[in-house]
Structure 1
Amino acid sequence: MTAHRTFEDLVAEGVAVPTEGWDFSWFEGRATEARPSWGYARSAAGRLARAGAVLDIQTGGGEALDFALGWAEPARPVLVAATEGWPPNVAKATALLRPRGVVVVAAPGDAPLPFADEAFDLVLSRHPVRPHWDEIARVLRPGSSYFAQHVGPASVFELVEYFLGPQPQEVRGARDPERERADAEAAGLEVAGLRAERLRMEFHDIAAVVHFLRKVVWMVPGFTVEAYEPQLRSLHERIEKEGPFVAHSARHLFDVRKPEREPEGRPGGWHGG
């Protein structure tokens, strides 16, 4: 229970928690988020067990990949690599994944993937900032797949707009799954499956709000406690009086395949008898 604690105590606690990686266990008892029905990590584990060479893009602290590899044991790919662009997460992912034989490569999320053409028969990603479909298509072998859980449009925007005010439609509509489907197809990929869900979130105290906005930095860009102290204090009082602040996350699951290469060398012309 934290209701008796002061605003200052709770804010200080939210500020003190490290933000590296994508381990959200600190939120236990202070915030909740419903999980998508498809169970991304376990579904990814089934695919890992059948793959030979795997790449996990924007792995964060490596938590989702580590979980999936654990579920895939004893069957596992011969080669597993991961990319990450934020240096603290590179260090965290390396420490977590090295014992599993995973090579973690420091690579900015908006840069070309540092791998050869057709190097992988499975590419994974959980919550990439933006999918670079041309690069995904390039590193996939023909007949192989990209399996990923993306953040959807207007995710947690109840909280975003509490701090920033109403957002324009082009911002609210970013990360639209149908637009991403069109971009994937434009890169020559085939979308075999696309599912989307909106999921209830609850923030039970202001420490959870502070830590969430420090950790998920694109929600309220440039967020600091000092810059948003009045809004934080008002929200703290609202939670104390009315109960948890409710928002909704948006998630969609992509199952995308690179077509088999067309047979080469069939001569043109007349083939009649």
Structure 2
Amino acid sequence: MEYRELKELWEKEERNTSEGWDFSYLENRCEEEELPWDYKDILKTYLKPDFKLLDMGTGGGEFLLSLKHPFSNTAVTEKWEPNLKLCEKTLTPLGIEVKQVFDDSELPFKDEAFDMIINRHESFDINEVKRLLKPNGIFISQQVGGRNNEKLSKILIKDFKPLFSKNTLDNNLKEIEKDLFEVLYAREAFPYLRFKDIGALVYFARKIEWEFPNFSVEDCFEELCKLHEEVKIKGYVESIEHRFIMVCRKKDL
């Protein structure tokens, strides 16, 4: 296939307007290394049926429902309007409390309202988490680290500067321990993410715009062509992700 045809193909991927964070469109076009921990298994180690549970940034609530926690003991927050409407449609009728949030430091719940707060890939203010947790309450968060896809971003984006470079496990633990939490478990990982065709990479880069600022097929065409040659040789282009997880207990003073 000539580069002119490839460019047309990649620009079609660039124009894809599918919404949300469902990457099933890329199924069989990329391969992600498994993390050395299982977020759901870790949650279930600590979660008890009588716990008041808050899921921060629940998305559409699909993962939350898989936990099968009693609905009357469950609350969620969500910022993004389309997800909020979905939660109000699917979770509210079940008796799950749904709240929209705009500021991590001002969550609409009373002091010490929860036994456990969970957070996967959502921002948070540790002082607000501390306010909402009961004494000995549990906070579990899996985060996307500041070095996520940095290698690939530097290849595609000239003079790339990561926006969240300080978002590492060590830096988060320093803040958490300073704020009177006991760290029960913490781990960091750098799994690979492999794209089997450049069109998949184009779609991904347009979605994750904060990691690939000002990305376009037109501006990055030369770099994309070089990566295309790499796919022809190796069968994939590799990026390195950054993930970490923390399990913490609020100290009972």
Bigger mean CA deviation after superposition, 155-164 or 246-255 = 155-164
**Residue pair 2:105, 2:127 contacting (<8 A) in 1 also:** no
TM-score by length of 2: 0.84
Query: How far off is 1:78 after superposition?
Result: 2.9
Equivalent residues of 1:200, 1:248 under 8 A apart: yes
Q: Establish whether residue 197 from structure 1 lines up as the match of residue 189 from structure 2.
A: yes
Once the two structures are superposed, residues 163-213 of structure 1 have per-residue CA deviations (whole angstroms, 9 ceiling, x without a partner) of 224656x86842111110011122222212111111111011122212222
Query: How far apart, in 1, do the equivalents of 2:100 and 2:222 lie?
Result: 38
CA distance in 1, matches of 2:90, 2:45: 21
Which residue in the other structure is 1:36 paired with?
Answer: 35
Matched residue, 1:64 = 63
- The corresponding residue for 1:108 is 102
Uncovered stretches (5+) of structure 2, i.e. residues with no partner:
none
Instruction: Tell me: CA distance 1:185–1:164, structure 2 relative to 1, closer, same or farther (3 Å).
Output: same
C-alpha distance 254-118 of structure 1, shift in aligned 2 (>3 A): same
Moved more, 138-147 or 29-38: 29-38
- SS state at 2:147 partner: coil
Larger Rg: 1
Q: Which residue number corresponds to residue 13 of structure 2?
A: 13
Q: Distance in 1 between matches of 2:214 and 2:80?
A: 16
Aligned residue pairs, count: 249
1:178 matched to 2:170? The reply is: yes
- Distance change in 2, residues 1:111/1:36 (3 Å): same
Where does residue 131 of structure 1 map in the other structure? 124
Aligned amino acid, residue 24 of structure 1: F
Counterpart CA distance in 1 for 2:110 and 2:214 is 36
Q: Which amino acid aligns with 1:154?
A: R
1:66-81 map, 5 Å: 69-70=65-66, 72-73=67-68, 76=70, 78-81=72-75
**Alpha-carbon shift at residue 139 of structure 1 (Å):** 0.6
Q: Does 1:247 align with 2:243?
A: no
* Cα distance in 1, alignment partners of residues 199 and 84 from structure 2: 26
| Pair 1:146-2:130 in alignment | no
Secondary structure, aligned partner of 1:18: coil
* 1:259 corresponds to: 251
SS at match of 1:13: helix
Judging changes above 3 Å, is the alpha-carbon distance between structure 1 residues 218 and 63 closer, same or farther for their aligned structure 2 residues?
Answer: farther
Residue in structure 2 matched with residue 218 of structure 1 by the alignment: 210
1:31 shift after superposition: 0.9
Say if 1:146 and 1:257, in contact at 8 Å, map to a contact too: yes
Separation (CA, whole Å) in 1 of partners of 2:87 and 2:212: 25
